[in-house]
Amino acid sequence: MATVASHQAITTSHRPYNFKASHFPKEPLNNVPIKLRQKQFKIQASSQAPLLDPVLSPSKTTPQSSYKKKSSNEASLILIRHGESLWNEKNLFTGCVDVPLTEKGVAEAIQAGKRISNIPVDLIFTSSLIRAQMTAMLAMTQHRCKKVPIILHDESEKAQTWSHVFSEETRKQSIPVIAAWQLNERMYGELQGLNKEETAERYGTQQVHEWRRSYHIPPPKGESLEMCAERAVAYFEDNIQPELAFGNNVLIAAHGNSLRSIIMYLDKLTSQEVTSLELSTGLPLLYIFKDRKFMRRGSPVGPTEAGVYAYTKRLAQYRQKLDETLN
Ligand SMILES: O=C(O)[C@@H](CO)OP(=O)(O)O
């Protein structure tokens, strides 16, 4: 029971952006990010248009034609585990402790950005933790679209009102960033702040491996991967997958274990298979969402790697348009 109590404590204290809040009580949950974007970016609610990409849009002035274009049943999904944090460097269990990136982590995030610089991004989701947010922001400095990622603030009416964007043109040059506690790293309970090597010496390598990689076994007073998946995958299904189905290209910057649980869902891994899934810091992974299926496309090696753009005609076209517009 102590585990459950700790889990609830951490989840309620990490709720800066609660989409179920009273701002949109009548909206289905899966519409809320779009509605929030409409509200904060002053989009006409009737158009239901997502943020428009002038590169993808045939017309820069007609939302409806862009809407039709964007309702393609194909979209890109990029997952990035944050770059190295100061506690990764010190080999400490981090979990929900909000630790920033090291200089190496900053470089990894920038390198990740170069690797995805030709892949379209319409919407960014991060956890509420600074290491994931730094990673997303640094990666986007490298993107060839040159749009500005803007964090949406839903914590109060005032925060929403005070962060409105009133220029349509500026809005078009922006990418909304939605921070969600549900994408946070698993809560590591009483291991947070402990050295991983010393913990293995004290409790045994096998025990610590089970705490770190098993699906069902939680660390003391912390979340198992299963518990982490309950909130991360639910958030993905309710808030991110509808965006992909709408044709929006999504980047998610999150954490080793919240992403392991999402990859388990995308790749239909078993609880046994997920135990051997390891993610490196700063590594982008590309998926194509098409016909309601996720297709894993691996990690783009570099911005010019031909293979990545051969994955789909739409990606190749996006890149060609970037070349034409920016060169
Ligand atoms: O400490 C943590 O929060 C995580 C990620 O760094 O560690 P582990 O690899 O043990 O799940």
User: Domains of the chain, with CATH numbers?
Assistant: 2-326 (3.40.50.1240)
Q: Is 94 known to sit in a ligand binding site?
A: yes
- Crossing angle of helices 103-115 and 130-140, in 10° steps, is 50
Active-site residue, from 185, 210, 223, 243: 185
Q: Which of 182, 119, 152, 145 is nearest to 55 (CA)?
A: 145
Q: Is the CB of 19 under 6 A from ligand 1?
A: no
CA 183-280-126 angle, 5° bins: 25
Query: What spacing in Å lies between the alpha carbon of 186 and ligand 1's midpoint?
Result: 8
- Please provide the distance, in angstroms rounded to a whole number, between the alpha carbons at the two ends of the chain: 60
Residue 82 annotated as catalytic:
yes
Write out the two tokens for 212: 């770190």
ipTM of the complex, rounded to two decimals: 0.97
216 is catalytic: no
CA of 196 to the centre of ligand 1 (A): 9
Question: Of all protein residues, whose CA lies closest to atom 10 belonging to ligand 1?
Answer: 212
CB 94 less than 6 A from any atom of ligand 1: yes
Alpha-carbon distance of 239 to 105, in angstroms, equals: 28
pLDDT per residue of the chain (327 residues) written in tens, 0 to 9: 333 333 232 222 232 223 332 222 223 334 445 555 555 554 333 333 333 333 333 333 222 233 334 556 799 999 999 999 999 999 999 999 999 999 999 999 999 999 999 999 999 999 999 999 999 999 999 999 999 999 999 889 999 999 999 999 999 999 999 999 999 999 999 999 999 999 999 999 999 999 999 999 999 999 999 999 999 999 999 999 999 999 999 999 999 999 999 999 999 999 999 999 999 999 999 999 999 999 998 887 665 555 655 667 888 888 888 888 876
261 lines ligand 1 (CB under 6 A): no
Average pLDDT over all residues of the chain = 81
